[in-house]
Amino acid sequence: MRKYTIPAFLAFAMTASMLAGCAKDTGSSTATTDDTKKTAANPEPVELTIYSAGGTNNDEFEKNYASYIKKKFPHVTIKYINPREGAGTKLEDLITAGVNIDLYYESIGTFFSTLPRNKATFDLTEMVKKKNLDLNRFDPTLIDALKQNGNGQLWGLPVTTNTMSLYYNKDIFNKFGIPYLKDGMSWEELYEVAGKLNRTDGGKKYVGMAISPSHSMRMNNYSLPFVDAKTGKATFDNEKWKQLLQPILQPAADSLYQSKMADLNSKLPYSSEWLKTQDLAILGVFSDWQVVNPEPVPFDWDLAAYPQYKDNPGVGSQQYPVYWAIPSFSKHKEQAFDVLAYLVSDEYQTELSKRGGMTVLTNPEVRKAFGENSPHKNKNLAAAYYNKSAPISVKTEYDKTAENAITAKLADLALNKIDINTALRQAQEEADKAIEAAKKN
């Protein structure tokens, strides 16, 4: 919006008669200022349409977002579109139908491909400056990722985020007399502990550790991407991948672990084994996984910080934020930005933190409030912030294609049906072929 200012020299050039002649104008200016204040105090009602790419449950959206927005902005009516409900609710369908969307949010995995593909990108840089929104309040890796993947532009702002942590079953540790996990452990130290927890007791098979395959690769400590943005090729020929796959494969080297996988129809142990059957001692997953869960876990558990690599000390996982954007075709950009600015304020982020969501801010008081209103507030929740976050890797629209190529090899790798060199070579070839095919479509 263009701003008009009175040149400074006019003030000095005015005569007494000119000042007298402008008396009515001065009164008019005062009236205008009063009208402006009145408008600011009583803004016009507006309906803002918000779209969730991931399909946030309607009740969750109301509880976590809409209720706060409506309380803060009584003049705003929220219309929420959930793509999981009904036909024609995909973003592309809505754009074709000319449906207005004022705020759009999506996780980092696909955010940077969805917006440009639909010609929906809108740079928030000028609005950030106009509203004096301080980007230094955010964890720098979250803003760096925006600029890096948006060609220097700000296509959105992070509202929520996540890191990786270790959940562990203290009852299993106690059963076998194993010391609890500590913050600041290396991967090698974790492997040693996990190996001691592959046990059979009372006919029940216990296994030491499982790390979420998708999250551990997407959020790896070395910030290695799935696809090289410059070459458009998969990165599985990088030697680092052998190290990055060890959290998934190393536990499976144990014969008891493989026996457990056989019981699970060749699948890796995961959340069901940790939470339901309670025969998995350690699970690496999103830091807020159980913190936000209002239901009590039926055994004694705790959190520990995600492990570090010895050649990359102090660095944990990458963050996995959800970015909120104002689409280029939004009809209410100013009002939408006001809402977005509120969602990244200390006020809202503190409420988010209290209920067990990880904040995007570096404010220590906001971080300290993590899980304060959660039934799990007495756990070692500070573990989520123990490490420095790894820089977020560059994203491309072909990441999922490459990820699928390596994920398909994991079970065979764990069961020693294929060696890691062969698996990585095949994944590289398959991913590159699939990427080339996708480019032609």
- What confidence score (pLDDT) does residue 40 get? 59
- Dihedral angle sign, alpha carbons of residues 116, 158, 156, 47: positive
**pLDDT-based confidence at residue 39 (cuts at 50, 70, 90):** low
Q: State pLDDT tens for residues 219-238.
A: 999 999 999 999 999 999 99
The whole-chain average pLDDT of the chain stands at 91
Position 437 scores a pLDDT of 95
Beta strand pairing call for 157-160 and 322-325: antiparallel
Cβ neighbours of 191 (radius 10 Å): 18
Residue 103 has what pLDDT?
Answer: 98
Contact 355, 68 (CB under 8 A): no
Which residues partner with 390 through β-bridges?
318
Domains of the chain as residue ranges with CATH: 46-161+320-383 (3.40.190.10), 164-318+398-440 (3.40.190.10)
- What is the chain's length? 441
Do residues 296 and 378 lie in contact, with contact meaning Cβ atoms separated by under 8 Å? no
Question: What stretch of H or E contains 413?
Answer: helix 410-414
The two three-digit tokens of residue 224, written as one number: 């290695």
What single letter denotes the amino acid at residue 311? D
Cα–Cα distance measured from residue 104 to residue 119, given in angstroms and rounded to the nearest whole number: 13
Tell me the three-class secondary structure of 304-336, residue by residue.
EECCEECCECCEEEECCCEEEECCCCCCCHHHH
Q: Give the whole-angstrom CA distance, residue 418 versus residue 245.
A: 14
Mean pLDDT in residue range 357-367: 98
pLDDT at 15: 35
The tens digit of pLDDT for each residue in 66-107 reads: 999 999 999 999 999 999 988 899 999 999 999 999 999 999
Q: Reply yes or no on whether the pLDDT at 62 is more than 50.
A: yes
Beta bridge partners of 186: 308
